[in-house]
Structure 1
């Protein structure tokens, strides 16, 4: 039974519990709801909660704990001889899990256990069969690893069956017990409202837990990378030259430079145009012009980045090459920082413009009226009153645009190329951190190599840069906001 089907069954039992609880509450008072402590729907909801919550909590805990417990029990089957040089036990266990999942898929596709056993005796044939399913397995798979995968699969199947039995048993027990507890004196509303309060508290912590999960996963995998590749070479080398199989030079600075250079060019285009258009739409444009121009400007935000990438590749790149780069002797390639930055800047204009326009419109009209009362012109009012008052919000809009620029991939791939280099020439091809993260994790790669794990170190580096940008922007916002509160 799949998790989806089990979830539907539990929800069905919970819905039955709702109807049963409501009916029993009304039956206890012979249909006169005024004699109940709570509305009839609260009694049904309380039975629904006691039916669904224990089952779903058990399901959640089981899904989290089962892989950890199985991995701990299976890890003892791996000997030091099964761990290739330059890798760790956790990487080998990742291979064990992939093999177990792949063989389970082969059985689900119709392969018999006899055929599977014969296939597991042939590591090359097993790798080929799993490869057709999109499961990548290391070339150094040993018999112990295959046996560990077999044990992992057997334990996972047994655990899955136990999870189904436990979840259904708790759902049925919760339904029966909570339904028989329904009496006119039961404070069903208090029970339901307490659950809603806990639910709201849990929802408010989702962002924090998500952030912690992202950070811990990046730190954990980056630690694996730095165990295989020297940290000083990663942070201080000026060469990016990955070679699967060994002999790589994985210096991060050419990628960081490309990211910052492309983002800088994009912001030079987007920030002035976005802010000026926001000032015009909010302070000078008539209602008719604004109702037409603002939606048209925001259409740019709805265009997929791949379309911008094609525009950069087919139109902007050749134009910059033929009209500027080649006449000035600065390059002969249509893929360049200027190409990607210009197109990305066009894409970012609505991010800056729309948010800045909303912020400027939120400035109190009394500030404008006071400025006009002392003889200031509209342009002086905009420069000396409106923009300073709206500065914190405008900084936030620029920060959003900068984060979008740093994380963009498709435009850089198609507009800036894939060359990792340190150069001041904007008409040369360069690349960014995000592009290399994708390229290092694409294809038939093994997570046992530093050339693959470097993607997590790059992600952590990008996260630190973005965090620093957010802290700087928050400092600026707080400093200037105090003047207008």
Structure 2
């Protein structure tokens, strides 16, 4: 049974439990709702949760554990001569899974029978050509041990899937029956439902925290491995970025950090004035009808995918700047459409809604009494905005700008398409440069050897970027919290 159908079946069982639990409670109370401890919906919800939580928990744990168990069993079938380390073993296992999936597709489309897929051999059949007939492309000929492992993989995966289906349904039915048996007019269903929901909320919060901890630990461990292979002083203070997987790499972060800082600075120069002026207009001058239209339209910019902004920088903004600042324009400052200025301008447009929306909310949070007092003393509208509203909202506005800065520092696609890939220390904003995020992508693209400094440097770059953005976010939150404590 497909996983989606299994989930729908458990959900249907839970809905049936909701109806039966509610009906059983009312029946036990003789149809008088006043005799119930809780509202009827709580009794139904109790049975619903008792059905869904065990069933879906077993499903989730099984989906995590089964691939690990199968991987361990199948990897033991791969001869040691076929791989040299864990990385190459994973490549072999990916071939095994690809062949197993191809055999499944061939059986589904009728190109192979179940018996043929189970008994087929490389000695008598060209597996690559046979699977190619059903649209499964393989990079190389299939070795005998890969085919044997793939056939075993199919068997274990199918058996595990059927056992999973039985286990999930058994857990759901057990919860269904247990909760329904306990349902009566005196059962504290509301307390139980609220306790379960509280546990789910705590679990969701804990999952978010643990995910963050896992990300940080993975960065830390790999960064430590990098610094065992490459000197930290050369990394943090080196002025040359020249990775070479053949050896002799120079991995200084300063050119990357300078490019990141330069692009982010130009973006903020564009986004902060426009976003702040837009926020002042929307909050202080625009009427309700204009605000209801303009604010959502402005926030549409935040929903545009960054790859679209990157294409806009590459195809539109870059050529426009070349017409003005390039050799054709007479100034000769730009040698190509990709430059810090190109990426910075487009990124600034992307950041406008971040600054404007946050600043608008902060300005609106300034007490109306402060405005009324200023106007009552004879100040004009513009004087009130400049001398009362903006100073009062300044801590929150600074926090919004810092949040936008951390967003700019972590941007990738706009920089990849708009700023180029040259790592250099230059003050010319019309030259191509690169940033930390683009180099992380570059170092982890392709067949990277994770035992080499050239691949592990991506984690050191990520850790450095994480610390910088974390510092900016903490600073922004401290400023915003101080503002809220003052005016809430």
Between the aligned partners of 2:458 and 2:127, the Cα distance in structure 1 is 28
1:94-173 superposed matches below 5 A: 94-110=90-106, 118-119=121-122, 155-173=156-174
Q: What TM-score results when the alignment is normalised by the length of structure 2? A: 0.81
Post-superposition offset of 1:393 = 2.0
Q: What TM-score results when the alignment is normalised by the length of structure 1? A: 0.81
Between the aligned partners of 1:123 and 1:404, the Cα distance in structure 2 is 52
Deviates more, 1:252-261 or 1:143-152: 143-152
**SS at 1:109's partner residue?**
helix
Post-superposition offset of 1:18 = 2.5
Alignment CA distance shift 1:4-1:447 (3 Å): farther
Deviates more, 1:73-82 or 1:294-303: 73-82
**SS at 2:64's partner residue?**
helix
- What are the ranges of 5 or more consecutive residues in structure 2 without an aligned counterpart? none
1:135-214 superposed matches below 5 A: 155-214=156-215
Between the aligned partners of 2:153 and 2:231, the Cα distance in structure 1 is 33
Post-superposition offset of 1:380 = 4.2
Partner of 1:397 in structure 2? 400
Partner of 1:445 in structure 2? 447
Is the Cα contact below 8 Å between 1:336 and 1:428 reproduced in 2?
yes
CA RMSD of superposed structures (Å)? 4.0
Instruction: Indicate whether 1:62 and 2:58 are aligned.
Output: no
Between the aligned partners of 2:487 and 2:37, the Cα distance in structure 1 is 51
Instruction: Indicate whether 1:11 and 2:11 are aligned.
Output: yes
Counterpart among 454, 461, 464 of residue 461 in structure 1: 464
**SS at 2:420's partner residue?**
coil
Partner of 1:322 in structure 2? 323
Is the Cα contact below 8 Å between 1:241 and 1:248 reproduced in 2?
yes
Query: What is the CA deviation profile of residues 126-177 of structure 1, one whole-angstrom value per residue up to 9, with x for unaligned ones?
Result: 9x97xx868889x9x9988887777666554443333222212222233333
**SS at 1:118's partner residue?**
coil
Between the aligned partners of 1:225 and 1:78, the Cα distance in structure 2 is 30
Deviates more, 1:215-224 or 1:162-171: 215-224
Counterpart among 367, 371, 374 of residue 371 in structure 1: 374
Between the aligned partners of 1:390 and 1:42, the Cα distance in structure 2 is 45
Between the aligned partners of 1:372 and 1:324, the Cα distance in structure 2 is 48
Between the aligned partners of 2:353 and 2:432, the Cα distance in structure 1 is 27
Is the Cα contact below 8 Å between 2:255 and 2:423 reproduced in 1?
yes
Instruction: Indicate whether 1:281 and 2:282 are aligned.
Output: yes
Query: What is the CA deviation profile of residues 414-449 of structure 1, one whole-angstrom value per residue up to 9, with x for unaligned ones?
Result: 32122222222111111223333444555x535657
Partner of 1:436 in structure 2? 439
Alignment CA distance shift 1:188-1:322 (3 Å): closer
Name the count of aligned residue pairs. Answer: 476
Instruction: Indicate whether 1:425 and 2:425 are aligned.
Output: no
- What are the ranges of 5 or more consecutive residues in structure 1 without an aligned counterpart? none
Between the aligned partners of 2:388 and 2:75, the Cα distance in structure 1 is 67
Query: What is the CA deviation profile of residues 288-337 of structure 1, one whole-angstrom value per residue up to 9, with x for unaligned ones?
Result: 66556545544444444344334333333233233235444433212110
**SS at 2:100's partner residue?**
helix
Instruction: Indicate whether 1:472 and 2:467 are aligned.
Output: no
**SS at 2:106's partner residue?**
coil
